[in-house]
Amino acid sequence: MTYAGMRTGSAFAALGAGIMLCGMAPGDMNIAVFLARASVLERLGPLAIAAPDAQLLKGEVIAAGKRYKARIDAERKTGRRTTSCPPETGTLTPEQWLAHLRSYPAASRKSISVYSAFDGLMRKRYPCPA
């Protein structure tokens, strides 16, 4: 295969991956992909903040948090029992978030979305009183 052919093949692969990622709702990225991208960013150190993936990953977590809050608020409005009982505001450091994601077995990470992991973290941190 020629260099031009390899470049074309790479371009099509990147385009296909981009189309697949664009079709996902924010927060639907699986945690295996999230952790792989986060690992690359961690190696960049302070320069990571300028990397496009940093904004992508931050957006995934923010979107998952917003979806989670909307769901909890809707459950509360209808009087249904919520899966967790978080305070109205709180903080989550990147280290806490990554530690939570890394707590999932490697074999299951491809089948767990960032949104599901966010929900799992909220269940652990803010269980509802019995």
Q: Residue 74 and residue 126: Cα distance in Å, rounded?
A: 17
Q: What is the pTM of this model?
A: 0.77
pLDDT digits (tens, 9 = 90+) for 88-122: 888 889 999 999 999 999 999 999 999 999 999 99
Asked if the model's pLDDT at residue 13 lies above 80, the reply is no
Does the pLDDT at position 26 exceed 80? no
Surface-to-core class of residue 60, CB atoms within 10 Å of its CB (0-12 exposed, 13-18 middle, 19+ buried): buried
DSSP tally for the chain: helices H, then strands E: 5, 0
Domain range summary for the chain, segments of one domain joined by +: 26-125
Mean pLDDT, range 16-31, rounded to an integer: 63
